C-alpha cells in the first residue's frame, strides 16, 4: 500500500481503535504529532511504534519542532532557541551564526529521529518584515540572503542526522499581520516585490535540493485571489515551473481559519490537491478527517507517492547512545551558549 495524500492528527497519548482503523485507510499517508500526544519519551516511542505497525510501508510521522515558541516535545529534549538567535549571531559573525544553525538543525533532527519521527516541518524561510507576530522570531532574519545562508546550514545539519527538510511558508508569510490560524490574511504586494525578496530563500534552497515545502494560507490579491496553498498559479506555475521544485508540497492545516474561504474541509482538501499539493493536513478534528478521506480518491498520483516516500527518515538513531555522542554534546554546548547570549541581550 502506497502513502495516501492525507496527514492526520491524533487525539491523545495512545492510539484508539477508531484511530487505528482511520490510519489503515488507503488515503492516509502520515500522522502529525502535537504536545497533546507527548507525555514523556517512553510513551511517545510506544505511540510512534504503534503507528509504524499499522501498515507497510509505514506511515510518515511528522511534528512541528522548530525551537523557541514552536517545540512540541519538551521533557527529555534539548530546549532549542528560536531561529532569530542564529540571525543575531550571523550579524556579528557570519561563520559562527551558520555553524550554530547547522548544530541546531542536526540536534533537532537527531533527537527526533531517535524517537522514530521522520521529519519536522522546518525550517521557516519567511522574512521577518517586523509586522507578523505569528512569524516574529521564528524567522532567521529580515534579509533574504541571510535567511538563505542560515537555512542552508540548518538543513545541512538536518540531512546529516537523516531528516529531510520542509521549508515554510511559501511564498512568504512574514509581511502580513493577521495570524492565519485565526483569520484571513492578505498581502497586498505585487509579484515583483515578493519575487525580489521573499521568494529568494525558496529559490536558493530549491536549487540545493530542498525535499519539502509548505505554502501559506495567505492571499496575495495582486497575484491570485486564492490563498497560496489553493492556487495553481503559486504551486504549479511559480513553484514547480519557475523555481523548478521537485519535492513534496504539504498544505498547511486545512482547519485553520485562513483556509476557510475554500469551503468545507473536504472542499479545501480537494482544492489544495487540485492546486498541486501532494499531501493535505487535517490535524485536529477526527470527524473532518473521516469526511475528507473519500474525497481524495481521484488524487492517486504515482509522482506524489515517490515524493512522499523520500520524506522517510534515514539511518535510525539509538536514543540510549545519542547522549554519549561527542557531536550531540558539542551541539548541546553550542546551543547553550546561544541561549546565554540571548539572555545577556535582554539585560
- Its sign, for the CA torsion 165, 282, 229, 38, is negative
The DSSP element (H or E) to which 170 belongs, if any, is strand 166-170
**Beta strand 166-170 with 224-227: parallel, antiparallel or unpaired?**
unpaired
- C-alpha 261/C-alpha 280 separation (Å) is 16
DSSP 295: G
- Its sign, for the CA torsion 81, 84, 89, 93, is positive
Nearest to 72 by CA among 105, 104, 46, 111: 111
- C-alpha 176/C-alpha 179 separation (Å) is 8
Which triple of cell numbers denotes residue 294?
Answer: 473519500
- C-alpha 217/C-alpha 220 separation (Å) is 10
DSSP 235: I
Residue carrying the nine cell digits 498559479:
233
Q: Hey, how many other C-beta atoms are within 10 angstroms of the C-beta on 336?
A: 13
Task: Supply the residues annotated as catalytic.
Answer: 181, 252
- C-alpha 231/C-alpha 55 separation (Å) is 33
- C-alpha 60/C-alpha 7 separation (Å) is 8
Q: Residue 55: helix, strand or coil by DSSP?
A: coil
Q: Give Dmax over CA atoms of the chain in angstroms.
A: 57
For residues 213 and 252, the answer to whether their CB atoms sit within 8 Å is: no
The DSSP element (H or E) to which 63 belongs, if any, is strand 60-63
Q: Residue 183: helix, strand or coil by DSSP?
A: coil
Which residues are bridge partners to 167 per DSSP? 213
Burial classification of residue 57, based on how many CB atoms lie within 10 Å of its CB (0-12 exposed, 13-18 middle, 19 or more buried): middle
Amino acid at each position: 500500500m502506497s502513502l495516501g495524500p492525507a496527514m492526520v492528527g491524533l487525539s491523545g497519548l495512545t492510539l484508539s481503535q477508531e484511530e487505528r482503523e482511520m490510519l489503515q485507510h488507503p488515503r492516509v499517508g502520515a500522522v502529525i504529532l502535537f504536545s497533546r500526544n507527548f507525555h514523556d519519551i517512553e510513551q511517545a516511542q510506544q505511540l510512534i511504534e504503534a503507528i509504524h505497525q499499522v501498515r507497510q510501508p509505514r506511515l510518515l510521522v511528522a511534528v512541528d519542532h522548530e525551537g523557541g515558541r514552536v517545540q512540541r516535545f519538551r521533557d527529555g529534549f534539548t530546549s532549542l532557541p528560536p531561529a532569530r538567535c542564529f540571525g543575531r549571531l550571523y550579524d556579528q559573525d557570519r561563520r559562527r551564526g551558520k555553524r550554530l544553525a547547522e548544530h541546531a538543525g542536526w540536534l533537532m533532527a537527531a533527537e527526533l529521529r531517535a524517537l522514530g519521527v521522520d521529519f519536522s516541518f522546518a525550517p521557516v524561510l519567511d522574512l521577518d518584515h517586523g509586522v507578523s507576530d505569528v512569524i516574529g522570531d521564528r524567522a532567521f532574519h529580515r534579509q533574504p540572503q541571510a535567511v538563505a545562508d542560515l537555512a542552508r546550514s540548518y538543513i545541512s545539519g538536518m540531512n546529516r542526522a537523516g531528516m529531510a527538510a520542509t521549508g515554510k511558508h511559501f511564498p512568504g508569510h512574514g509581511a502580513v499581520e493577521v495570524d492565519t490560524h485565526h483569520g484571513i490574511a492578505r498581502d497586498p504586494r505585487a509579484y515583483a516585490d515578493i519575487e525580489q525578496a521573499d521568494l529568494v530563500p525558496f529559490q536558493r534552497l530549491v536549487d540545493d535540493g530542498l525535499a519539502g515545502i509548505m505554502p501559506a494560507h495567505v492571499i496575495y490579491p495582486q497575484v491570485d485571489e486564492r490563498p497560496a496553498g489553493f492556487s495553481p498559479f503559486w504551486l504549479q506555475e511559480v513553484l514547480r515551473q519557475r523555481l523548478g521544485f521537485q519535492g513534496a508540497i504539504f498544505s498547511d492545516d486545512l482547519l485553520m481559519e485562513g483556509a476557510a474561504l475554500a469551503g468545507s474541509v473536504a472542499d479545501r482538501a480537494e482544492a489544495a490537491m487540485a492546486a498541486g499539493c501532494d499531501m493535505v493536513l487535517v490535524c485536529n478534528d477526527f470527524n473532518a478527517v473521516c469526511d475528507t478521506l473519500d474525497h481524495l480518491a481521484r488524487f492517486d498520483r504515482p509522482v506524489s507517492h515517490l515524493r512522499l516516500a523520500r520524506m522517510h527518515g534515514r539511518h535510525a538513531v539509538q536514543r540510549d547512545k545519542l547522549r554519549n555522542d561527542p557531536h550531540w554534546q558539542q551541539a548541546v554546548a553550542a546551543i547553550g551558549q546561544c541561549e546565554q547570549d540571548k539572555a545577556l541581550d535582554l539585560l
